[in-house]
Amino acid sequence: MTNPLYCLYLLNCDNDILYTGIAINPVQRLKHHQSKKPPGAKFTRRFKDLKLVYQVTVGNRSQAQNLEYHVKQLCKQDKITVIEQQLSLTELQDFISLKTV
């Protein structure tokens, strides 16, 4: 049995807050968030409008968690750039490298 591939995703919450997470299936995970019940994240329950605005396939869970950590360190404007440019995995990794130097 092969290990599932994880994706990094960004949600736009009420057109104001950007939420970063990882999941095997970001669309299904969005449905969990929208249900306002577990297993949706407690953080997203307070928002009415959640939109999946970015996703990229990363690899195994460890790789996805590592990338998630680095994306969470980006400022909001940098995350908006990632969304607007719909960066590929390689482009996202390069972008993060430039920002953390």
The pLDDT tens digits of the residues spanning 87-99 come to 999 999 999 999 8
In tens, the pLDDT along 60-81 reads 999 999 999 999 999 999 999 9
Q: Is residue 51 part of a domain?
A: yes
What per-residue confidence (pLDDT) applies to 101?
66
pLDDT at 1 over 80: no
* Residue span of the structural domain in which 34 resides: 6-99
Compute the average pLDDT of residues 16-32. 95
Q: Share the mean pLDDT of the chain.
A: 94
CA distances (Å), origin 89, targets 41, 48, 69, 76, 77: 24, 29, 15, 19, 19
CA distance 52 to 79: 13
Q: Report CA dihedral (8, 27, 36, 17) to the nearest 10 degrees.
A: 50
In a domain, 23, yes or no: yes
| CATH number (domain holding residue 32) | 3.40.1440
How many domains are contained in the chain? Answer: 1
* pLDDT over 80 (residue 100): no
Tell me, yes or no, whether 1 lies in a domain. Answer: no
pLDDT: is 7 or 39 the higher one?
7
State the pLDDT at residue 55. Answer: 98
